[in-house]
Amino acid sequence: MALNLDSVGKKIGPVSKDYTWKDAILYALGVGAGFSELEYTYEKDLKVIPTFSIASIFDFLSHIGINANVNLAGILHGEQDLIFHNPIPPDGKLITEGKITHMYDKGKGKGALVIGESETCHSSGKKLFTSILTLFARLDGGFGGEHAPKETFEYPARKPDFEIEASPSSDQPLLYRLTGDLFALHADPEFAKLAGFEKPIMHGLCTYGFACRALMQCLIPGQPEKVRRFKCRFSRPLYPGDPIKTQIWKIDDKTALWKTANAKTGEEVITNGVFEFGDLPKDEIRFDGKVAVVTGAGGGLGRTYALELAKRGAKMVVNDFGGSRDGSGGGGKGPADKVVDEIKAMGGSAVANYDSVSTPEGGQSIIQTALDNFGTIDILINNAGILRDKSFLKMEPENWNTVLDVHLTGAYNVTKPAFTVMREKGYGRIVMTTSAAGLYGNFGQTNYSSAKMGLVGLMNAAKLEGKKYNIKINTVAPIAASRLTEDIMPPELFEKMKPEFVSPMVLYLCSEKCKVNGYVYNAGMGFFNRAAVVTGPGAVIGDGKTIPSVEQVADAYGKIASMSAGKEYFELNEQVGDLINAFSAPAKTEAAAAAPKASGSVADIFKAMPGAFNAGAAKGVDVVFQYNISGSGGGDWFCVIKDGTCAVESGKHEKPTCTLKMADADFISMISGALPAMQAYTSGKLKIEGDVMKSQLIGKLFKL
Ligand code: NAI
């Protein structure tokens, strides 16, 4: 029997489960609630204990074990994280879908970890909760897989703020198992002995339910709808009848850390507990299960991004090489460590990295830190930055190069290894940091402005390469109070420009919700807008054969410089297409040239196309035009032009020179002359893929 390593990444579910108020009450009784908590145990105004959720998707959890092919005799619940998006209604249907995300090897005889992640929705359509489960498969170690990333967890040094004792009955598992987990280990003395225990043990999730009640009682009495997250590690088994004690440290008004111990022996049975609470924000954007790297996150803007991402569930790599504002010094671990401590103190997960972004080795090592500690990378924010301002004539090569090395080359160094992982997994969010100094110019910052505008260029090209792998790359031009701006901004403004005002834009661009790619945004003080390179409609001088004179340019300058009806391009090809189209009389371009006055259907037009072929103009031409016409009258046709001949066939050619895509009605109106080809192209009605330049031959090759 061996773990099924192929199960990683494969979809499990949907698995459905109907439940009624009786199931919710049975669960409450199973985790020790009684007359003192009638809100959970009596159907009048019934509320559901949030941890009911995990018991009610037990069928789904068992699919994780089955798909992973774990040895059931050695299976234990290792860790459980529940993130709540909406309160659990007292009845309905739960629909759960998910997958096994990782399998880690602890070594032969030491076991394996199987991680499963799922989302559960209610039959009303509301997303209720996300579960991240770790199964400890004690008998499945030694399969040669990678080790689990190391995670550290620290409780405050002070005494707990609350301690709640409880006494699960010696028969507790017999009641709890009726909520769904019928595993024999919790009821059958023979089975328990075979598994190495002196008698049946408590379900870890039952003790978890007791702990959830204790935390709610201390922090949000009677308000289960305010539980946002409940996370922990199951460290030791507990025998039924042993008393328990849950210790709670309130960290702030949203977070508490907790653990539960056997009150008789003092042994900790549940550790690394995180409890998040508060009002459930509508459609909260979360980063649970995502791994994020922020460069230069030891202070200023980077720190706020890292803290906010961690608060919303991301596992963080906090990079900062700890130098001074001009990039000198460095090597100090303090800034990164401090932010890591802040994240851990609020129950988040973070690790520090102290490399400089300015070398390829540094970039590689920053991303490797994410892979070693958390197994992957989903989000990268290129934020590290320095300043070396000097007026242009005083700008020495050293100041020029050092600034470019950190901002521009630094982003290249870190993005490249991150992009490799993101491309392989088919997901990634990258944010570049530009500046108004680069977008619009600033006195004394030629080095910085060049580097910052270079980052926009890096984004522009990389966005095209990441597009089909669901990697979105966008850029932010922040404005905020930090050590970079403290001597530039007037004190009143400095006070108002908190870096926290920039984070919402950056986090949106890092989220799954972000569907944009290749955009630039200004962000500061709560004001956000998009910036773009816009191109004017321009002027055609001459016929494209005779070189225009300087005087002609001077005469047409007003038209050349006009930005009225300016336009944005997503890539170079679009702009080149417009340039070439500018010289074609509308009816002579692209497919319009194929107009052999065939007024009927799209198919008629292609049938008539060889008759309109101008063999005299086809000397030495070797091209394939693929037409992809959508709509009910459409279809695929291709036209092969070689050795002065023209053949038109229906279907798809395997290697077209360029592909012209259009809706059937637009195609017919373009051929009839009603829609000029250039207008069709610039309005997006005609799309040309592949060699745009060659598409221009169509005008010459077909006679009207
Ligand atoms: P900051 O100085 O507080 O933060 C930058 C961080 O990057 C520092 O902690 C620094 O130690 C770190 N760093 C510098 N060089 C590094 C390297 N080679 N490797 C790793 N870490 C390095 O400054 P702030 O304002 O938070 O800047 C963040 C980014 O935002 C920078 O890229 C900056 O150019 C950009 N920006 C900031 C504006 C603002 O108004 N604060 C305006 C426009 C852009």
Ligand 1 pocket member 365 (CB < 6 A): no
- HSE at residue 273, side-chain half, CA atoms within 13 A, is 27
Of 448, 521, 627, 681, the active-site residue reads: 448
- With H, G, I as helix, E, B as strand and everything else as coil, classify residue 336: helix
User: Is 19 labeled as catalytic in the residue annotation?
Assistant: no
Instruction: Summarize the confidence of residues 520-530 as an average pLDDT.
Output: 96
- Residue 79 is inside which H or E element, if any? strand 75-84
Please state which of the four CATH numbers 1.10.3720.10, 3.30.1050.10, 3.20.140.10, 3.20.20.60 is assigned to the domain occupying 587-701: 3.30.1050.10
Report angle CA 248, 251, 255 to the nearest 5 degrees.
85
| Mean pLDDT (the chain, rounded) | 91
Cα-to-centroid distance, 499 and ligand 1 (Å)? 11
- Report the pLDDT value the prediction gives residue 564, as an integer from 0 to 100: 86
Question: Which of 193-197, 302-306, 321-325 is the least confident region?
Answer: 193-197
Looking at this protein, which amino acid is placed at residue 189? P
Looking at this protein, which amino acid is placed at residue 512? E
Judge contact between 688 and 590, C-beta under 8 A: yes
Cα-to-centroid distance, 341 and ligand 1 (Å)? 20
Q: Where are the domains of the chain?
A: 11-142+159-277, 291-531, 587-701
Sequence-distant (≥ 6) Cβ neighbours of residue 377 within 8 angstroms: 291, 292, 293, 317, 367, 370, 371, 418, 421, 422, 428
Q: What superfamily in CATH does domain 11-142+159-277 come from?
A: Hotdog Thioesterase (3.10.129.10)
% of the chain residues with pLDDT over 70: 97
Instruction: Summarize the confidence of residues 133-152 as an average pLDDT.
Output: 89
Which of 482, 495, 503, 520 most suits a substitution to test ligand 1, by most atoms within 8 Å of the C-beta?
482
pLDDT-derived band of residue 592, with 50, 70 and 90 as boundaries? very low
Q: What are phi and psi of 490, to 5 degrees?
A: -60, 145
- Report the pLDDT value the prediction gives residue 621, as an integer from 0 to 100: 87
- With H, G, I as helix, E, B as strand and everything else as coil, classify residue 594: helix
How confident is the model over 329-357, as pLDDT tens digits? 877 889 999 999 998 877 788 999 999 99
How confident is the model over 412-445, as pLDDT tens digits? 999 999 999 999 999 999 999 999 999 999 999 9
Cα-to-centroid distance, 296 and ligand 1 (Å)? 6
Ligand 1 pocket member 296 (CB < 6 A): yes
- With H, G, I as helix, E, B as strand and everything else as coil, classify residue 435: coil
How confident is the model over 47-62, as pLDDT tens digits? 999 999 988 888 888 8
Q: Counting atoms of ligand 1 from 1, which one is nearest the CA of 324?
A: 11
Cα-to-centroid distance, 669 and ligand 1 (Å)? 54
**Is residue 586's pLDDT more than 50?**
no
- Report the pLDDT value the prediction gives residue 599, as an integer from 0 to 100: 54
Judge contact between 439 and 533, C-beta under 8 A: no
% of the chain residues with pLDDT over 90: 69
Report the C-alpha gap between 118 and 40 in whole angstroms.
25
Judge contact between 439 and 453, C-beta under 8 A: yes
Ligand 1 pocket member 387 (CB < 6 A): no
Cα-to-centroid distance, 501 and ligand 1 (Å)? 16
To the question of domain 291-531 being in CATH 3.20.20.140, the answer is no
Do domains 11-142+159-277 and 291-531 share one topology? The answer is no
| CA-based end-to-end distance of the chain | 73
**Is residue 125's pLDDT more than 90?**
no
How confident is the model over 182-200, as pLDDT tens digits? 889 899 999 899 888 999 9
Instruction: Summarize the confidence of residues 368-395 as an average pLDDT.
Output: 96
Ligand 1 pocket member 295 (CB < 6 A): yes
- Report the pLDDT value the prediction gives residue 283, as an integer from 0 to 100: 75
pTM: 0.65
Report the C-alpha gap between 377 and 422 in whole angstroms.
7
The pairing of strands 635-642 and 527-531 is unpaired
pLDDT-derived band of residue 584, with 50, 70 and 90 as boundaries? low
**Is residue 237's pLDDT more than 50?**
yes
How confident is the model over 24-34, as pLDDT tens digits? 999 999 999 99
Which of 293, 294, 295, 301 most suits a substitution to test ligand 1, by most atoms within 8 Å of the C-beta?
301
Instruction: Summarize the confidence of residues 694-701 as an average pLDDT.
Output: 78
How confident is the model over 489-522, as pLDDT tens digits? 888 888 889 999 999 999 999 999 999 999 999 9
Ligand 1 pocket member 363 (CB < 6 A): no
